[in-house]
Amino acid sequence: MGDLRDKLVADLRLRNRSDKTIAGYVGCLRRLAGFYMRSPDQLQLDELRDFLLELTALGASPAWRKGHVAAFRFFYSVTLGWSEAEVFAALPYPAVPTTLPDIPTFDELLQLFDAAQTLKHRALLEAGYSAGLRIGEAVALQPADIDSAKGVIRVRRGKGAKPRLAKLSLRFLDTAGRYWVQARPEGPWLFPGRSRDRHISSRAVQRQVQLAVARAGLERKVTFHTLRHAFATHALERGTDVRIIQALLGHATLKTTLGYLRVQTNAIQNTPSSFDR
């Protein structure tokens, strides 16, 4: 599907989709073609539904299937120009169960930061929590993005390729400064990888998170994205306006931010029951 793949990639790039999304969509179409041993443009909607049902029978998670539906919807309605109404009607999104993240306490986060293998990794973890950054945003930071005069971090390319400003923590600034003096990283990245031309990979950072969790003896499941959840939840518990948190996180809609209201343990505990009144 060489030519089709190139057209799909071009359509995605025109809409500023991320490299991760592009790779995911291409992978979904490749699996579909391998399943039928035919080019995807030769398939019918019923065959796409059968493929999705096969994924279900094989035990694929709803989130995994949802990714395939998104890829198929885009490819057939945009790249091939099929009727969007017919494609969307034939390929509904599966319901994805939502789970409440297990938010670590502030003291547990300090234990996690103290357990980081190097000052570089500690600075990365602190960036994720203090500014609510996604892992892709944290690893792609450049020295010029840290604006200590204005007290902000410039996120050049957030989700949807949208730039935004995040809050610069003085504690993170201190750690980042000590790391900078110690490492003096060369090249454009604040956190370079093995090559100065590339930033540290997200996979390498996730490995460091798990190592730090083990060293700290934390029993909770913690990933880098957990730090972002903790940032939002702790901010809400401190009484920060939800719209400010929306802007800091770079959420397109308030509905996404309001999801954090469900995990405010303190707020739930301190809200009196109407019946008790």
Catalytic sites, residue numbers = 134, 159, 225, 228, 251, 260
Q: Which two tokens stand for residue 154?
A: 């410039």
DSSP category for residue 165: E
The angle subtended at Cα 53 by Cα 50 and Cα 55, nearest 5°, is: 115
Best CA proximity match to 100, nearest among 269, 248, 232, 249: 232
Provide the residue type at 263 as one letter. Answer: V
* Structure tokens, 229: 């959840």
Amino acid (1-letter code) at residue 2: G
Tracing tokens 């990283």 back to the chain, one arrives at 185
CA distance linking residue 101 with residue 119, whole number of Å: 27
- Structure-token match 């065959």, residue found: 47
Q: Cα(48)–Cα(42) distance, rounded to whole angstroms?
A: 11
CB 51 within 8 A of CB 32: yes
Give the residues across from 165 on adjacent strands: 154
Whole-number Cα distances in Å, 141 to 7, 78, 164, 217: 31, 33, 13, 29
CB atoms within 10 A of CB 186: 9
